[in-house]
Amino acid sequence: MKAIIQRVINASVAVDGQIISSIGKGLLVLVGIDRYDEPNDATQIIKKVLTARLFDDEQGGMWKKSVKDINGEVLCVSQFTLLAKFKASTKPDFHESMSTIPGKAYYTNFLEEMGKSYNPNKIKDGQFGAMMQVSLTNDGPVTIILDSRSSSSLSSSSSSVKSTPNISRSITPNSNLSTKKSKSKNKNKDKVEDINTLEKDEENYNKSSISIKPSENCPNGIIDVSSISSISGTIANLGLGTNGNLEKEKKLI
C-alpha cells in the first residue's frame, strides 16, 4: 500500500461538481492499494498516519504533535494511480493496483479500522472509483510519502525485525573459521607424523646389508631398483625414488 499524506488547513472532495466531503485542519491522505496488499499493510499505514508528528505545539515547536493530538480530521481519497508503472511506453500501467471489487472491500475496511483507531467522526472519505475533484490548502507545504513495503518509510516497525538475522550471520562465519583452523592443524600434524615415519624407514633402509658392486649392467655401482623385485616393493612402500622425494617432503613442511 502506498499513501501520500498532506498537512492541510482545509480540503474537500467533489463529484460531478458537488462537494461530498470536506475537513478543516488535519490531513488529506491519498491511498493506493497494491494487488498484493494484506491486512498488515493497512495496519502499518493507519498507524503512521495517526501517529506521525506533523503539527506544531502551542509554543510553536515544529513536529511535536500528531493529528490525534490536535483533534484534527482526516480526509481519505482512494488513488489507484499511485501504483502506476511506465514500462515500454509513456502510457501508465495500473496492473499493480488491486482490482475494483476486492479493492473496494479492502478500502472500506481500511476506513473502518482507521476510525476504530481514532474517532469514526473524524474520518472522512471521497467516493471509491468515481472521478473526483480534490481541493486543498497544503499547510507548509508538508507532504509525506509512505509505502508499507518500504523499510525506510516505516522504519520504526521494521528495525527490530532485522536485528536477529544480523546476529545469526555474524556468528556463522566465526564457527566456520574455527573449524577450518582445526582441520588445517590436524592436516599439518598428520604430515609431520608421516615424515617422521619416512625418516625412520630411510634410516633402517640405509642400515640394510644390501651391497652393490659395479658390473656391466650396473656401472658405477648404481642399480635400477625397478628391476629388482626383492627391494622394489620396499622402496615403493617407503615413498622413496631416485629423485629425492623424501627431501622434498621435508622442505614442504
- The rounded mean pLDDT for the chain is 76
Query: 30 forms bridges with which residues in the sheet?
Result: 4, 77
242 is catalytic: no
Of the candidates 229, 224, 203, the residue with the CA atom closest to the CA atom of residue 212: 224
pLDDT of residue 185: 54
User: What is the DSSP code string of 8-72?
Assistant: EEEEEEEETTEEEEEESSEEEEEEE-BTT--HHHHHHHHHHHHH---B--TT--TT-B-TTTTT-
pTM (two decimals): 0.60
State the catalytic residue, choosing from 81, 100, 143, 197.
81
pLDDT tens across 153-211, in order?
555 443 333 333 332 333 344 444 444 445 555 555 555 555 565 555 555 555 544 44
- The architecture that CATH gives domain 2-157 is 3-Layer(bba) Sandwich (3.50)
Mean pLDDT confidence for 73-81: 96
Lowest mean pLDDT among 31-40, 114-123, 237-246: 237-246
- Provide the 8-state DSSP code for 181: H
For the chain, domain boundaries: 2-157, 186-252
Q: Which tens digit of pLDDT belongs to each residue from 100-112? A: 999 999 999 999 9
When pLDDT is cut at 50, 70 and 90, the band that residue 87 belongs to is: confident
Helix axes 245-252, 155-206, angle to 10 degrees: 150
From the list 24, 26, 55, 29, the residue with the least C-alpha distance to 42 is: 29
